[in-house]
Structure 1
Amino acid sequence: MSLYEILGTLETGFIFGIVALGAFLTFRILDFPDLTVEGSFPLGAAVAATLMVSAGWNPWIATICAGLAGFVAGFMTALLNVRFRILHILAGILIAISLYSINLRIMSGPNKPLLMVDSVFTYLEIFGIPGYIINPIFLGILIILIKLGLDAFLATGYGISMRAAGSNPAMAEANGVNVGNMKLFGVGFANALTAFAGALFAQIFGAADAYMGIGVIIVGLASVIVGMSIMPSGTIFLATIACIVGAILYRLAVALALNADFIGFQASDVQLVTALLVIIALILQQSGNVRSMFRKGNKR
């Protein structure tokens, strides 16, 4: 791989690292399998692109609004689960399917090009550094700030209550924690991160597309699983680092697999490569757990 390809992979890895942090919040913290991200990722792209192209909004404000739209989508998923007792997986699927039609309406079509429109990355040109270098640096700094913000939030009283709600709902309720409200906010916040990432993804690749959310849930899960399989994740600080590292390694693995001619993969096989990586990570993770249990048994 060339330097340009490596930097491009880092660029994409940092964006999906934000998605991974959202997946960590729902799957690991809240124990809420959320499939809304398949719709909230393109929702963020659609909202940002439409506001920038059709309304002429500042790209920073448009990107923040995209995150808010994602929060609403996640909130609605949690609402179906908490208030109407619809299974969390089914609730996520229903909202994701609905968002496909909503995204088409927002963009007035299947896609929205961002040609000749200023993006958040346009402002980086003042540094006089080529985009393929400055963009990954900017995204790296951005995801570190998001990671630290998430760590700080989960260390607050509200964040600890959210962790308790996901870890042991019955015990949390017995201690006065409103588990339903924790799900409403937590799933909404996770999808806000996903939609924010979708808005950045659209701006860096020059278009928003209604189909760009396909497989995003697998990418987020792959990043979390891969990162936590190879790195210590005993604390929130280490776990969020593992998610980001997992996203970068995932993108590097996909890029290497698609560029390895002897394997025979093509660009259209990216979803197959993703599934295989997740399967391998899960197998390795289970193998590690089995070996750990075996060692403990021998010590006894």
Structure 2
Amino acid sequence: MLIVAADQRNGMKAAMTDAPDGPGSISKDELAAAKADLVRHLGNYAPAILLDPEVALPAVVDDGVLARDTALVVGLDASGYENVDGLRYTKFVEGVTPKRARELGGDVGKMLWYVRPDKQDAASRVAREMRELISACSEEGLLLIVEILTYRVEGETEEEYADAFPGLVAGGAKLAVECGAKVLKLQYPGSAEGCVAVTAAADGAPWAVLSAGVDHSTFLGQVGTAMANGAGGAMAGRSLWKDSLSVSADLREEYLTKRAQPRLSELREVVDGMLPGR
């Protein structure tokens, strides 16, 4: 797997401006234009791109911006989350069902869930949500990539969370697979040993490493380690395009072409070079 992640909304706004008034100064039309440029000058050079149905879609499909040989992954999760009894729950994009993802031109869906497997099991609300959406996507003939993010809970120190983190990533993968997940998008668990544990927890389901905002060179190393220890690919966002969007609109093509595209090629080499038989 090699997928350009461009479904961010507030995160992409933040990348577009260093202005004192922050992301709020970027309008929806400006964000849509940036996403179209990102598809045109980066996503179309990848096997697949992940886009959101609130800003990017359906325009990039209807306007012919998305290349026909680049697969479309439709993000089903809305920005932000709700906090219930100290646990985070993802919000769904209103009205975007598996059927709607298909209508938007999607080949694949993606849904993010925040998970603390030490506090949530197969009978929990988050597990129930996973099972229901995975089943609905299956009925629609839509593959669903399940993204799992772990996080610190109230009262947990940074040191305690860091110690628990690799096990939480593996535990989240295990819970998702128990709920029927066929493909996973996961945080880098921190080491080769952590990747081995995640691969075992995934129990045959391929998993891709997400970039989580780290710089490109760091992400290349993480992907190489993960691929050597059972991962199936990468889903890269800000590590590819962040510094190509913090420029004026008339410079985006140059930056995406000269900065982001070479990074994508380097990432492709890491992913392809680790495939069996290469």
Structure 1 length-normalised TM? 0.29
More strand, by proportion? 2
Larger Rg: 1
RCO higher in structure (CA 8 A, sep ≥6) = 1
More helix, by proportion? 1
Structure 2 length-normalised TM? 0.31
